[in-house]
């Protein structure tokens, strides 16, 4: 697919010496949803700020839509939208005026029909004449999305779009993001909710201490790093396992009353192997009273990965 954004050797050192971005290379493809995961202070917002013009990179290059952002920033910025993490907007303004302002600021002619379409798609049309300060937190976040969409961007940054919103609103926000994707908007989102990345993203990047540690297709990442875990409760405690059981990645736990399996690759191989294990247990005359299996989530992968990274550092 065509690259829509290319970061090369991007670094940012703040006055005081904090290295927020450390030689980041990243290519974003047209039409994808890219989730940038990382703990607090990892460099996610700095990366977004560098692309959107809020942060001055210390070194490296940013190319968006073929434009070098250092030189031809106007052409590139006009196609980029940003929904910030904070609810930052003029709270005294009515909704429709705030959104219309954003469109004008990006140099586009007024278009009432387009503004109406955006407000309707975000369920804000009924609130169009209300001051933003009178809206709920979830509605305010939708206003920020409407403002970012007002100039019809091809690339949209969503910085923690569901931070602080309840489960229902979060799901509503996912539907909105899905709708934007279906309209061809490329989306880069940062999030603390790994579940969000798991649900939405095509590709995932893990960033920590300013370094981009891993970028991969979400499914490939799950396949490569995902695991199946099964706990089999044995009818009788055992002190050892026969060879036909020991060939599986298993170990006895809880004084021999439980058998733990950990294996597979996140593609379903683990489930098949657990089924084979249960057959082998019966064949070996080892009775069991319960089985509990679970697939590791992206969150497990993320936590394990950052843990290993922390250990290596």
Partner 1 sequence: MISWRSTWSIYTRELMRFLRTAFQSVLAPVLTTSLYFIVFGAAIGGRMPDLGGVDYGAFIIPGLLMLTLLGETTSNSSFGIYMPRFTGTIYELLSAPVGVAETLIGFVGAAMTKSLILATIILLTARLFVDYSIAHPLLAVFYIMLVAAAFSLFGFILGIWADNFEKLGIIPMLFLTPLTFLGGTFYSIDMLPKPWDTIALANPIVYLVSGLRWTFYGSGDVDIWISFSITLGFLAICVGVIAYIFKTGWRLRA
Interface residues with partner 1 (CB under 8 A)? 14, 46, 49, 52-56, 73-75, 77-78, 80, 82, 84, 86, 88-90, 92-93, 97, 101-102, 104-109, 147
Instruction: Closer to partner 1 by CB, 100 or 258: give it.
Output: 100
Closest approach of partner 1 to the CB of residue 89, in Å:
6
Closest approach of partner 1 to the CB of residue 113, in Å:
18
Closest approach of partner 1 to the CB of residue 101, in Å:
5
Instruction: Closer to partner 1 by CB, 132 or 197: give it.
Output: 132
Strand partners, 159: 190
Sign of CA dihedral 229, 38, 73, 9: negative
Closest approach of partner 1 to the CB of residue 110, in Å:
9
Instruction: Closer to partner 1 by CB, 55 or 303: give it.
Output: 55
Contact 38, 2 (CB under 8 A): no
Structure tokens at 7: 């970061």
Closest approach of partner 1 to the CB of residue 14, in Å:
7
Cα–Cα nearest to 309, from 168, 191, 207, 156: 207
At residue 260, φ and ψ (nearest 5 deg) are: -110, 130
Cα–Cα nearest to 14, from 58, 45, 51, 60: 58
Closest approach of partner 1 to the CB of residue 120, in Å:
22
Instruction: Closer to partner 1 by CB, 113 or 167: give it.
Output: 113
Structure tokens at 176: 């909105």
Rg (CA), the chain: 24
Instruction: Closer to partner 1 by CB, 86 or 178: give it.
Output: 86
Closest approach of partner 1 to the CB of residue 92, in Å:
6
Sign of CA dihedral 165, 170, 172, 176: positive
Instruction: Closer to partner 1 by CB, 82 or 95: give it.
Output: 82
Cα–Cα nearest to 286, from 215, 223, 233, 249: 233
Taking the CB of residue 98, how many other CB atoms lie within 10 A of it?
21
Instruction: Closer to partner 1 by CB, 83 or 241: give it.
Output: 83
Strand partners, 225: none
Distance, C-alpha 246 to centroid of its chain: 38
């Amino acid at each position: 697919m065509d690259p829509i954004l290319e970061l090369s050797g991007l670094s940012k050192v703040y006055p005081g010496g904090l290295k927020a971005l450390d030689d980041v290379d990243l290519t974003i493809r047209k039409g994808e949803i890219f989730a940038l995961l990382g703990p607090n202070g990892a460099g996610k917002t700095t990366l977004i700020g560098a692309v959107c013009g809020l942060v001055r990179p210390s070194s490296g290059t940013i190319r968006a839509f073929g434009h070098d952002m250092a030189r031809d920033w106007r052409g590139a910025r006009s196609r980029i939208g940003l929904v910030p993490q904070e609810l930052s907007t003029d709270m005294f303004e009515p909704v429709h005026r705030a959104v219309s302002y954003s469109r004008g600021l990006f140099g586009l002619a007024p278009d009432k029909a387009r503004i109406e379409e955006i407000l309707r798609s975000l369920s804000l049309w009924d609130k169009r004449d209300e001051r933003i300060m009178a809206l709920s937190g979830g509605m305010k976040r939708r206003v920020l999305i409407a403002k970012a969409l007002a100039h019809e961007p091809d690339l949209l940054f969503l910085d923690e779009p569901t931070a602080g919103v309840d489960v229902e609103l979060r799901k509503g926000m996912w539907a909105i993001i899905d709708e934007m994707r279906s309209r061809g908007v490329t989306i880069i989102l940062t999030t603390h909710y790994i579940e969000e990345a798991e649900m939405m993203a095509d590709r995932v990047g893990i960033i920590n201490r300013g370094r981009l540690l891993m970028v991969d297709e979400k499914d490939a990442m799950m396949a490569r790093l995902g695991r199946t875990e099964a706990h089999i409760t044995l009818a009788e405690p055992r002190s050892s396992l026969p060879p036909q059981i020991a060939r599986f990645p298993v170990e006895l736990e809880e004084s021999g009353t439980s058998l733990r399996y950990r294996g597979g690759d996140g593609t379903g191989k683990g489930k098949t192997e657990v089924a084979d294990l249960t057959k082998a247990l019966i064949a070996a005359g080892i009775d069991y009273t319960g089985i509990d299996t679970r697939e590791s989530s992206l969150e497990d992968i993320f936590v394990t990965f950052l843990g290993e990274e922390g250990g290596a550092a």
